Structure 1
Amino acid sequence: MNSRILIIYENQILYQVLNEISESLNFEIIQSDEKNFKEFNYDQKNNYLIISQKKIEGAKNSLILGDLPIKFDKLIEIINIRFLRNKFLDQSYIQIGEYNLDLNSRKISLGNKSLDLTERETNLIIFIKDKKNVTVKELQTKVWDYSPDLDTHTVETHIYRLRKKMKETFGDESFILNTSNGYSID
């Protein structure tokens, strides 16, 4: 089973044409109509695309075919480009607790509030999240590329500034926690 799913919404002819050549396509094809559309389980991690001739209320990842007729090879090209775009966008978001971190724009957001981050702050957050308990020495060597023998307060200063920005924007005073072993993010 392919990880990419093309959902043809209320277009029997397009479904039949694509289904006939489905062995040469690099995505699974599903036919849908208004009745069974709501039954589909759309996991946000799945790479799916909905093709329709009209806008479907509440549907994300949809491609509206308005300019018909369209050449078949152009349609397949558009579908593949949309799948690539969706995959790129999916990979750019990381969930950090209740926050969303957009790696492309380097923004962290919660609800309708967002905060611009520097590249270093983004790397710092990702490293602490992935490692759980991180020491200052680990951050110096892995994030800053400093020698662990250097006596510097760069890490502490950056964490202090990041905490301050998080508090001012989101009112969160415990985004990065001090632990007995270093720092962590829940």
Structure 2
Amino acid sequence: MNTVLLICSDRRLRASLAEGLAPSFSVHQADDGAEARVFLRASAGGCSAVLIDTGLNAADGPEPCRGLRSEGFDMPILLLSEASDEADVVAGLDSGANDYILKPFSMPELLARLRAHLRISATTESAVRTIGPYAFRPSAKQLFERARNRTIRLTSKEVAVLKYLHAADGRPVAKHTLLMEVWGYNSAVSSHTLETHIWRLRQKIEDNPANARLLLTNRDGYRLNQAA
């Protein structure tokens, strides 16, 4: 389940928004930008999107957004505001926000816009994907396990294998398909090459590589067990 960070100083409104988001997302709440940055640094890519409620002062939205962007956080950021002046909208978007949603809005509209931005974000190289207990960031060639606070470095081919298996959404992928997609047509590349990469990946990501629970063999291929 994707994690959404909700920044809102109004506790009553924040609780209401969190309740509406909870059926679809894991929600983390913060009072302000400073608290939000502490969470985001600790999550190491485990947050999929940020919602910032500007309150009565439209200027309260762009500043936290600008601060997050300046630190390199690239997930979708949506501003929620009562300010409808063109200057406020422009300031919000110029601060790095992906969307500016005017109040009042319905929860179905907010959820639909959030899902739309997550779909777009998921197609980018910088998008963070969840693989079992790990936050997978292809652009950084790493997996981060928050529970153990550890980072696993990956090779380019390991990243490509994990990306393709993740895109299959739990369905098995045949060996010949992975060979073609990751290595391309090359008569010198055999299934042994793929099997070696799978073995190395299991050494990195499985608690017991001899009894894999996350990266599974399935007939003549492999799949990711996201429930692991």
Q: What range is the shorter-chain TM-score in?
A: 0.5 to 0.7
C-alpha deviation, 1:94, in angstroms: 0.9
Structure 2 unpaired stretches of 5+: 1-5, 28-47, 58-62, 68-84, 100-113
Instruction: Write 1 or 2 for the structure with the bigger share of helix.
Output: 2
2:182 to 143, 150, 157: 143
1:82 aligns with 2:96: yes
Structure 2 contact 8–52 (Cα < 8 Å) conserved: no
Count of matched residue positions in the alignment of Structure 1 and Structure 2: 143
d(CA) in 2 for partners of 1:8 and 1:95?
Answer: 23
C-alpha contact 1:51 1:63 (8 A) present in aligned 2: no
- Specify the alignment match of 1:13 in structure 2: none
Q: CA deviation at 1:151?
A: 3.8
Partners in 2 of 1:8 and 1:98 — Cα distance? 25
For residues 1-12 of structure 1, the aligned pairs below 5 Å read: none
Q: Residues 147-162 of structure 1 correspond to what in structure 2 (within 5 A)?
A: 147=186, 151-162=190-201
**Larger-gyration structure (1/2):** 1
Question: Quick one: structure 1 residues 76 and 182, their matched pair in 2 at CA, closer, same or farther if it must change by over 3 Å?
Answer: same
Question: Aligned partners of 1:153 and 1:116: how far apart in 2?
Answer: 22
Q: Distance in 1 between matches of 2:66 and 2:172?
A: 47
Alpha carbons of structure 1 residues 179 and 75: separation in structure 2 relative to 1, 3 Å: same
TM-score by length of 2: 0.49
Residues 62-73 of structure 1: pairs in structure 2 closer than 5 A: 62-63=64-65
Return 5+ residue gaps in structure 1 as ranges. 1-6, 11-32, 54-60, 66-71
Q: Describe how 1:11-90 pairs up with structure 2 within 5 A.
A: 33-41=10-18, 42=21, 43=25, 48-51=51-54, 62-63=64-65, 76-80=89-93, 81-84=95-98
1:128 counterpart (142, 162, 165):
165
Measured after TM superposition, the shift of residue 163 of structure 1 is 1.3
Over the aligned positions, Cα root-mean-square deviation in angstroms equals 3.9
